[in-house]
Structure 1
Amino acid sequence: MKPYHFILVTFMLLASIATAQQRPQYTQYVFNNYLLNPALSGIENYADVKMGYRKQWAGITNAPKTSFITANWNLGSDYLWRNALSLPEKGDDPMSKNYMQNYTASPAHHGMGVTAVLDKTGPISRLDANVTYAYHLQLANTLNLSVGAAVGLTNIALDVNALLLENASDPALSNTIVNQVKPDLGLGLWLYGARFFAGVAAQQIIPQKLSFTNDPSYNSGKEVAHYFITAGYKLFIDDEIAAIPSVMVKSVRPTPVSVDMNLKVSFRDRLWVGGSYRRNDSYSALVGFNMSKLINLTYSYDFTTSDLNKVSNGTHEIVLGLQLNNIYEVLSTTRMW
């Protein structure tokens, strides 16, 4: 293949990527739904910080690698008591049925946060940086509805040095767009009570053209919106063990709808194990340990079930969580889920 033709084929492939799923996927999203839904900003009474790394399809050269850091907190100096942002008393079991039976909704309040996600696949890297805000409305004595928005920028870069060409100075490269910055906007709703949650969210909803060349024959790419529907419910097995089944439906046209089903089993909120199934894609095993009121650590491994399992060694994801200014000494990561 002539070098110029190779460049054109590369641009066609990049254009096809630009019209498919463009945001990274996560196995542990259910324990950090804030990554997907800005309406969770400030849902806790402490500053919730998480740092994660995901290596997808290990064994495949240039497969996706994702790093992220998120932080969100409740605005205001007052600590809320016996509500969605706190637990009953210092040292009390956060999984206690009594807490659930005496649960009261959080008073109306504001929350904000920041997210930064770096995703790299082959020669393409993407950095999404956002500031988020949410308002938590008290609908009833035991029910809250939060509305949130994420505003920021997306930087998409193409590393032309990663393209293997017969002629490194091929004139086709003169038309290459190696870096582009796009505005970003996401919206979300989150309904939550003592034992359930449900949410809807949309990411990158501002229409944007996305092209890696100035050649008009290969600039049909565009950013597409990502939509998420999530729900979960807590079931008590006994006073010390709780199970939380949940589901997420993701829609990113023109790719098929993705469905995730999850189950987490928590032991006195100190140790938990779980499993996840993504339709036509993978099974996952998850484990987490709340080391102290400050630090928690989680890990997941995906067993690929698609045709990629012939060349992939699965997917690894690890997340470190910090709970800053945790005055109630809560062990739980994201309180209930």
Structure 2
Amino acid sequence: MKAAVIFFRYTTGLFIFFLAVQTGNAQQRPHYTQYILNNYILNPALTGIENYTDVKLSYRNQWAGFPGAPQTFYASVHGAIGKQDYRTTPTSFQVPGENPRGKAYWEEYTAAEPHHGIGGSVVNYKTGYISRITATVSYAYHLGLSPKWNLSAGFAGGFTRFTIDATKAELANPIDPAVGSLTTEFRKTRPELSAGLWLYSDKFFAGVSAQQIIPQRITLVNNDQYKGSALVPHFFATAGYRFMAGEDVNIIPSVMFRYISNMPSFVDVNVKAQYQDRVWVGGNYRIKEGFAAMAGLNISNTFNVSYSYDINNANYLLQYMQRGTHEIVLGFLIGNKWGDLCPRRVW
């Protein structure tokens, strides 16, 4: 009986994962619900977009309750080089009682001076006994197009390390010939390259990017009869608009389109409402897949935190056998000398 339970848990976890890959999730790369807080994780053109060094830490527990369900951790950091601060005097500090993101603030918005940005990220994406660690460094150049508009272009390069640890499989026997051919660990390293463009102003942003640009094939078993899987480029296009709902509330609807070769297209619709500079709530709808609720708090001018919860409705088996997806993001603003509580250039 115990062996049967282990077999069920193991095969169910693998079945759900491969079913998701075949029916639409195609998770060669991890999903993020709160990418609207850190578009840098998808587009290197945002490198150095702010007046401070932006650090983000995130943990995502996808399809909670499934054995071997995906888990993602990432750390990202980026900052500007040679950027002239848009503020020149201490009188630019917030006046008590005023909305720091009120109408007057945005009327005085000016495009950033041309400057460079550098950064880096590490992403650990794990599914069962399969682990993928991607480490990249990025560069971007930001150009002023008009008094309120900027355009930036960036790229990121590094490597991805694939690891299979068969000793962590709950059922190690020849039922799966690929797993049965492994006794300890198997590793492969591949180059990683991404690039993007980002257009932004006081009210609008839009960007396009591509990850995993270099098409290649990866074989994660030491058995010549397996041809492996193709690593294909992932393309992203996003846009959003900010408008005021009164003096104290900013509302930012946005949309993201994802394209992966030989897979259905994905469309995300988001909305975020922020009260002054302190607290925000939002929602995400991933068409034909599910929806999520989000909330965040800007605790100080050096730290913020946010949380999201996803419900998947793309597949009945997933819907009834899992307990949603949890994602938390911690943000640190280093060198934020003018006391901004939230980003000026990205919302």
Shared fold by TM > 0.5?
yes
1:228-284 per-position Cα deviation (integer Å, ceiling 9, x unaligned): 001000010011111000000111122211110000000002000001100111110
Distance 2:182 2:70 in 1: 27
Q: Structure 1 88/146 Cα, relative in aligned 2: closer, same or farther at 3 Å?
A: farther
- Given candidates 158, 169, 172, the residue that maps to 1:165 is 172
Report the secondary structure of 1:73's partner residue.
strand
Q: Within 5 A, what are the aligned runs for 1:34-53?
A: 34-53=40-59
The answer for the alignment partner of 1:132 in structure 2 is 138
The answer for the alignment partner of 1:31 in structure 2 is 37
CA drift at 1:81: 1.3
Distance 1:71 1:335 in 2: 16
1:18-76 per-position Cα deviation (integer Å, ceiling 9, x unaligned): 99431100000011000000000000000000000000011111100000000010013
CA drift at 1:155: 0.3
Distance 2:288 2:76 in 1: 29
Distance 1:166 1:292 in 2: 53
Q: Within 5 A, what are the aligned runs for 1:9-24?
A: 20-24=26-30
- Given candidates 226, 233, 236, the residue that maps to 2:244 is 236
Q: Does 1:207 align with 2:215?
A: yes
The answer for the alignment partner of 1:121 in structure 2 is 127
The answer for the alignment partner of 2:275 in structure 1 is 267
With a CA cutoff of 8 Å and minimum separation of 6, indicate the structure with the bigger relative contact order. Answer: 1
Distance 1:268 1:277 in 2: 25
The answer for the alignment partner of 1:80 in structure 2 is 85
The answer for the alignment partner of 1:5 in structure 2 is none
CA drift at 1:146: 0.1
Higher deviation after alignment, 212-221 or 308-317: 212-221
Distance 2:100 2:298 in 1: 12
Q: Within 5 A, what are the aligned runs for 1:62-211?
A: 62-76=68-82, 79-82=84-87, 89-92=92-95, 93-163=99-169, 164-166=171-173, 173=181, 178-211=186-219
Amino acid at match of 1:33: N
Amino acid at match of 1:213: V
Report the secondary structure of 2:247's partner residue.
coil
CA drift at 1:138: 0.8
Q: Within 5 A, what are the aligned runs for 1:311-322?
A: 311-322=321-332
Distance 1:87 1:210 in 2: 54
Q: Within 5 A, what are the aligned runs for 1:282-297?
A: 282-297=290-305
Distance 1:328 1:334 in 2: 12
Q: Does 1:325 align with 2:320?
A: no
Report the secondary structure of 2:340's partner residue.
coil
CA drift at 1:180: 0.4
1:73-126 per-position Cα deviation (integer Å, ceiling 9, x unaligned): 0013x541159xx99811154312112222211111000101000010011100
Identity %: 43
- Contact 1:147–1:189 (8 Å) recurs in 2: yes
The answer for the alignment partner of 1:310 in structure 2 is 320
Distance 2:133 2:221 in 1: 20
- Contact 2:50–2:343 (8 Å) recurs in 1: no
Compute the TM-score of the two structures, normalised by the length of structure 2.
Answer: 0.86
- Runs of at least 4 residues off by over 4 Å: 16-19, 174-177, 333-336
1:311-337 per-position Cα deviation (integer Å, ceiling 9, x unaligned): 010000001100001011000146541
The answer for the alignment partner of 1:7 in structure 2 is none
The answer for the alignment partner of 2:9 in structure 1 is none
Cα RMSD (Å): 2.7
Higher deviation after alignment, 196-205 or 325-334: 325-334
Report the secondary structure of 1:34's partner residue.
helix
Question: Structure 2: which 5+ runs fail to align?
Answer: 1-13
Distance 2:150 2:112 in 1: 7
